Amino acid sequence: MRIGFLIARNVYFRSFGPVIDGFLQKGHSVFCLHDYSQPKGGSKGYQFPDIAQTPFFRNGQVFSLEFSSERDFIDKVLQNSIELVFSLDFIEAHFNLREELAKKGVFWAALQNGFDSGPHSGKNLSMPDRFFVYSSEWLEWMFEYLKKAGKTKEENFSEFEKKLRERVKPVGFWTAEQKSIIDPTAVRKKWGIGAGKKVVLLLPFPFGSSIDRFWTKYVFGWHNVFSQLPLALFSFNKRWIKQVMGKENDFRVSLAIKRFCERNNCFLLVKCRKKDPAKKYLIKMADKILFDGGFYPSTIIECFSVADVCFNFYSTAAIEAAAMGVSNVCIAPDVSDWKDIRNVLWQTILEKENDFFGFLGVSYLKSIAEIIRELPQKTFSDFPLDKEKQSRYLQKFAGGLSGGAVAKIVSEIEKLIQK
């Protein structure tokens, strides 16, 4: 078979990598089509899908092609006799491509992209020939979001599910399968982590990508009361005034995490994104600051291979942590403060699946005030990973502990094309 992957950003290899290797292992030809129409500047310019950044695959080589327009993409697919195209999620920009290629007998498959990247309409779910999701619960969650957002006419979930059963397939959490190509000992040596030393992984607050510019910057982002208080008073928001006076800010959260590390004699590993660079005070506190140095295996999965606990802010990393056997701590700002999580998508997540972040024994939900006040006195025993609860968590959100997601995806595509 000849399989194509649409690479709109270099970070797509983080999700595509294990699947690409799965097809190569079965002897199929894989083509990576890099979208060179993407901007090279701006906050996400560093994610430009440069062919030179294509990772090494353990089961063979891929054919790398560039395209710069819809017509160019279609021509490259047809000229290379590609039988099926994979995309990360399925968005409106894919509609025309999908329809034009379908006329030529080319199939289309989509992969779920993380936790908060739900489909924008019922049509997005139904148009690909196959849409692979982590577990069956995700289809129900997606349906709830689409209903709340008024983006589907479907009224009955069971009928909706029945209609999509042939197309939407729960297979498990394929991203974590790249852990099989990671040597934790080599990772520890590469980053200067002493043998036997426990590791705290921190994914900092996403200041650079947040749409909120008041609470994020002036209340939580600053840590000078004399500068913050006039602005908080001017906002007439009693909660923000209380937070400023109580010094509930990112500096003190970072300091609490550092003190936890000092108390427990552990290594503070901070994983950032270039669009969300670490604050100067955090750089001084950290033992190691990382950006995305590789996409397959991805830097974040390498981080989890050596981590003992992960701290983050409402992040998809919660599911990655559980899949990698790492306990998670979600630092939870008040929903009414942070604009980024007040849209319909996040409302649905927090109302319907709040235990994604607060699943005792797997992920621990803590307020900013609790982290600042309590964390410096805590030990790792306060955040244990319970194996039985980990199994239940992963069964619900990632299709179980057993793995095999990549094999299921490859098998499903083989059956689709052969039929």
Check pLDDT > 80 for residue 409.
yes
Question: Do 50 and 167 share a structural domain?
Answer: yes
Give Cβ neighbours of residue 178 (< 8 Å, ≥ 6 apart): 17, 18, 296, 297, 298, 301
Distance in angstroms (rounded) separating the CA atoms of residues 70 and 78: 12
Assess if residue 62 is contained within a domain. Answer: yes
Residue type, 5: F
Question: Do 192 and 164 share a structural domain?
Answer: no
- CATH number for the domain including 60? 3.40.50.2000
Check pLDDT > 80 for residue 254.
yes
Question: Do 379 and 252 share a structural domain?
Answer: yes
Check pLDDT > 70 for residue 116.
no
- Which is higher by pLDDT, 90 or 261? 261
Distance in angstroms (rounded) separating the CA atoms of residues 252 and 14: 32
Question: Do 192 and 160 share a structural domain?
Answer: no
Residue 145 corresponds to which tokens in the numbers above?
A: 């979001």
Question: 307 with 269: CB under 8 angstroms?
Answer: yes
Mean pLDDT of 370-386: 98
| pTM, 2 dp | 0.92
Q: Which of 129-133, 157-161, 166-170, 335-339 has the lowest mean pLDDT?
A: 157-161
Assess if residue 178 is contained within a domain. Answer: no
Distance in angstroms (rounded) separating the CA atoms of residues 220 and 222: 6
- Which is higher by pLDDT, 43 or 197? 197
Assess if residue 167 is contained within a domain. Answer: yes
pLDDT tens digits, 326-375: 999 999 999 899 988 887 878 877 877 778 899 999 999 999 999 999 99
Count of the separate structural domains present in the chain: 2
Question: Do 262 and 235 share a structural domain?
Answer: yes
Question: Do 373 and 412 share a structural domain?
Answer: no
pLDDT tens digits, 52-98: 999 999 999 999 999 999 999 999 999 999 999 999 999 888 999 99
- CATH number for the domain including 267? 3.40.50.12580
Check pLDDT > 70 for residue 117.
no
Three-state DSSP class for residue 64 = strand
Check pLDDT > 90 for residue 125.
no
Closest CA relative to residue 47, chosen from 86, 92, 12, 91: 12
Question: Do 355 and 320 share a structural domain?
Answer: yes
Q: How confident is the model at residue 181 (pLDDT cuts 50, 70, 90)?
A: very high
Assess if residue 310 is contained within a domain. Answer: yes
Residue 199 corresponds to which tokens in the numbers above?
A: 């590791």
Tell me which residue range forms the domain holding 286: 183-396
Assess if residue 347 is contained within a domain. Answer: yes
Question: Do 230 and 159 share a structural domain?
Answer: no
Residue 87 corresponds to which tokens in the numbers above?
A: 């995309």
Assess if residue 71 is contained within a domain. Answer: yes
Burial class (CB in 10 A: 0-12, 13-18, 19+), 295: buried
Question: Do 333 and 273 share a structural domain?
Answer: yes
Assess if residue 177 is contained within a domain. Answer: no
